[in-house]
Amino acid sequence: MKELIRRKQVTINGKTALSADLKINEFQDEILCQGVRLTYRPYVYYMMNKPGGVVCATTDAREQTVLDLLKPVLPLSEQKRTISPAGRLDKDTEGLLLLTDNGELVHALLSPKKHVDKTYLVKIAHRLSPGDIEKLEQGIDISASAPVSEKEPQRNRLTLPATVAVRDDTTILLTIHEGRFHQVKRMLQAVDNEVVALKRIAFGPLKLDPSLSTGACRELTREEIQQLTCASADIHKM
Ligand code: URA
């Protein structure tokens, strides 16, 4: 920018910028660079259709991470941002993953008290009985398969009420309102079933874009960002 300003190719509110030290209001001032309007984005938001075999981390010594997939599609101007996945999907889980550098929003969406809906397309080993569906929907004790960190609190034994929509004998849509460790797999295990394949298709107000091929990502639309922001604001009120 300094070089462009020196060459008098930058205007601020119609006046040629004469110094790079000028204070600007990034939301109000109109900055043109070689006649092209610059916009300031405090945060970026990407939707990824996560493939299996990739870990939900920013770096990993051995495994390919979702950030390794995102980096090549980030414009040069966004490469320095500290972008992270909003929560975790297991290495073998596919589907909707939000990646952003808006830590506050992620914190609001993921807080265990906030209960953001997550919908999974779940391939299961065998048909669920009406009794299994009732247990999954009413709340089920998944403490038998709890990792050490989740062992203690009694109140954590039951999952919150969930919704099951049966697609066919071995495919269901499961909507949960928490994000506990391996939650879907443990819920199915608790009714003596098994998850064969797992894909997240919705996260709060976001729906997985059907045009995103596995491993692809795209920026969220303005409308999607607004919906997420509204969802996190609603959550704050809860
Ligand atoms: N539940 C699981 O068991 N795994 C995931 O990746 C997400 C939810």
CA 187 to ligand 1 centroid distance, Å: 10
Length of the chain: 238
Average pLDDT over every residue of 3-23: 92
**CATH annotation of 117-203:** 3.30.70.1560
Enumerate the CATH 3.30.70.1560 domain ranges in the chain, comma separated.
Answer: 117-203
**Residue 79: pLDDT band with limits 50, 70, 90:** very high
- Which residue CA neighbors atom 7 of ligand 1 most closely? 89
Decide: 122 and 159 in contact? Cβ < 8 Å.
no
Give the CA distances from residue 184 to residues 70, 125, 177, 191, in Å, rounded to whole numbers and listed in that order: 26, 13, 11, 11
Instruction: Specify the pLDDT at position 111.
Output: 81
Over pLDDT 90: what percentage of the chain? 76
43-113+208-238 fold? Alpha-Beta Plaits (3.30.70)
CATH number belonging to domain 2-38: 3.10.290.10
Q: What is the reported pLDDT for 182? A: 95
For residue 235, how far is its CA from the centre of ligand 1 (angstroms)?
22
Q: What confidence tier does 154 reach under pLDDT thresholds 50, 70, 90?
A: low
Ligand 1: atom nearest CA of 186 is: 3
More confident residue, 88 or 235: 88
- Over residues 179-206, the pLDDT tens digits come to 899 999 999 999 999 999 999 999 999 9
> For the ranges 4-18, 140-154, 197-211, which has the lowest average pLDDT?
140-154
From 48, 177, 182, 194, give the residue whose CB has the most ligand 1 atoms within 8 Å, as the site to mutate: 182
Average pLDDT, the chain: 91
Q: State which ligand 1 atom lies nearest to the alpha carbon of 179.
A: 8
> Percentage helix, strand, coil, to 5, in the chain?
30, 25, 45
Residue 69 has pLDDT above 50, yes or no: yes
